[in-house]
Amino acid sequence: MTMIKYCDQCGGETVFSVAEREENYDIRGERIRVVTKVWRCQGCGLELFDDELTGPALKEAYNEYRRRKNIPAPEDIKELRGKFGLSLRSFAKLLGWGYVTLHRYENGALPSEAHAAVLAALKANPSYAFGLLETTKRNFEKDEMDGLLKRIDALTRECNHPSKIRHEEKCEANVFTGFVPFSVEKFRDMVLWFSSMEAPLLKTKLLKLLWYADFLHFKRHGVGISGAVYVHLPLGPVPDNFTFLLGELEWEHKIKIEPVPVGDYLAERIIPVAERGSSLSEDELRTLKDVLKQFQGWGSRRISSYSHEEKAYLSTGQGEEISYEYAVDLSID
């Protein structure tokens, strides 16, 4: 491809042809090297840049940055929103972001790494949305919330996420289960014990008590109690797919989950319905008692903030599974 253009160096019109050259782009401190196209004078070699020729290279540089940082492309964000059946405004409400911010991302703006991590976690595991709703549920009317919960539950079951497999006890014990297979009985009895010993017990606090109990037991004995996998969510470490797990207990009439007003929003409290079973050993019960003693009288907000300072939380990103190896640095003994 050639074109006649004026060349300042030759002092007249000459033939220019398209040539390739390597170019470095600096994107948020990251150097990206790509091949771009320029007009090159066939007489002296002078190069002229043209937006139509360099545009694809700039786009490729941004795409490479997205790949390196696991940042979704605009079409990926739109596709993710479509899976939840949400309008742009409703999706922004779920994420807790501004409408304009999400609109910009869907139209090509580069998301921050923090926002990208949330989107990546949501794409990998739809049940991550349950954790988001813990902080953004006040943005929704009841009917809207009910519909969203059903959609999230359906997506979670469709994707057959490993947390569902773990719930069915088909996962080998590993560092993310505390080196014990997941036990429905132990998880159930931990929930029943905590909810019977402290009333009212809000769901947010229960989830933190479960995490501290499993990790403290691992710190003391080298194994967890329930075999639950815990993930990093906005309100702190929580059992993976906790809404599914607690929902199963409610469906089986082991617990009752009851809405309760807290300030200007509705929280949920856990009410034991069934008697606790005998699956927990004396050592495991001792761990539960010590955890409850440590956090007796603490509110959900206080224990959540406290858990944010644990190394296990500080060293992981949104939606990531938390290795039990972090138990050695747990703030309680």
Q: Structural domain of residue 26, as residue ranges?
A: 2-69
Residue 167 within a domain: no
Task: Identify whether residues 79 and 98 lie together within a single domain.
Answer: yes
pLDDT digits (tens, 9 = 90+) for 203-239: 999 999 999 999 999 999 999 999 999 999 888 999 9
Per-residue pLDDT, averaged over 296-315, amounts to 95
Q: Is residue 291 part of a domain?
A: yes
Q: Do 59 and 106 have their domain in common?
A: no
Q: Is residue 203 part of a domain?
A: yes
Tell me which residue has tokens 């600096």: 26
pLDDT of residue 271: 94
Cβ(56)–Cβ(34) below 8 Å:
no
The residue ranking higher by pLDDT, 119 or 311, is: 311
Domain boundary among 37, 69, 101: 69
Higher pLDDT pick, 106 / 155? 106
Are residues 119 and 194 both part of a single domain? no
Does residue 307 share a domain with residue 259? yes
Q: How many CB atoms lie within 10 A of CB 284?
A: 22
Q: Which residues contact 196 (CB under 8 A, 6 or more apart)?
A: 272, 276
Are 256 and 316 contained in the same domain?
yes
Answer whether residue 119 is part of any domain: yes
- The per-residue pLDDT for 159 is 55
**SS3 state at 323:** coil
**Could you report the per-residue pLDDT of 83-112, keeping only the tens digit for each?**
999 999 999 999 999 999 999 999 988 898
The reply to whether 193 and 177 lie within a common domain is yes
The answer to whether position 157 is within a domain reads no
Q: Is 161 part of a structural domain of the chain?
A: no
Co-location of 64 and 78 in the same domain? no
303 and 183 together in one domain: yes
| Helices of type H across the chain | 51-69, 74-83, 88-95, 99-106, 113-124, 128-136, 142-159, 162-167, 184-197, 203-221, 242-251, 282-294, 300-307, 311-314
Higher local confidence (pLDDT), 124 or 330: 330
Q: Is residue 165 part of a domain?
A: no
Query: Given pLDDT bands bounded at 50, 70 and 90, which one contains residue 169?
Result: very low
Q: Are residues 9 and 117 in the same domain?
A: no
Q: Which of 46, 69, 92 is the last residue of a domain?
A: 69
| 234 and 325 together in one domain | yes
CB neighbour list of residue 81: distance below 8 Å, 6 or more residues apart: 88, 91, 106
211 and 242 both lie in a single domain: yes
Examine residue 160 and state whether it is found in any structural domain, yes or no. Answer: no
pLDDT band at 166 (very low <50, low <70, confident <90, very high): very low
Q: What is the pLDDT of residues 36-64, one digit of tens each?
A: 888 999 999 998 888 788 778 888 888 88
Last residue of a domain, one of 118, 149, 180: 149
Q: What is the pLDDT of residues 229-284, one digit of tens each?
A: 999 988 899 998 787 788 888 888 999 988 887 766 667 899 999 999 999 999 99
Count: domains in the chain = 3
**Same domain for 249 and 124?**
no
- In which order are the strands placed within the sheet that holds 47-48? 2-7, 12-27, 30-41, 47-48
**DSSP string covering 206-221, please?**
HHHHHHHHHHHHHHHH
172 phi/psi in degrees, rounded to 5 = -70, 150
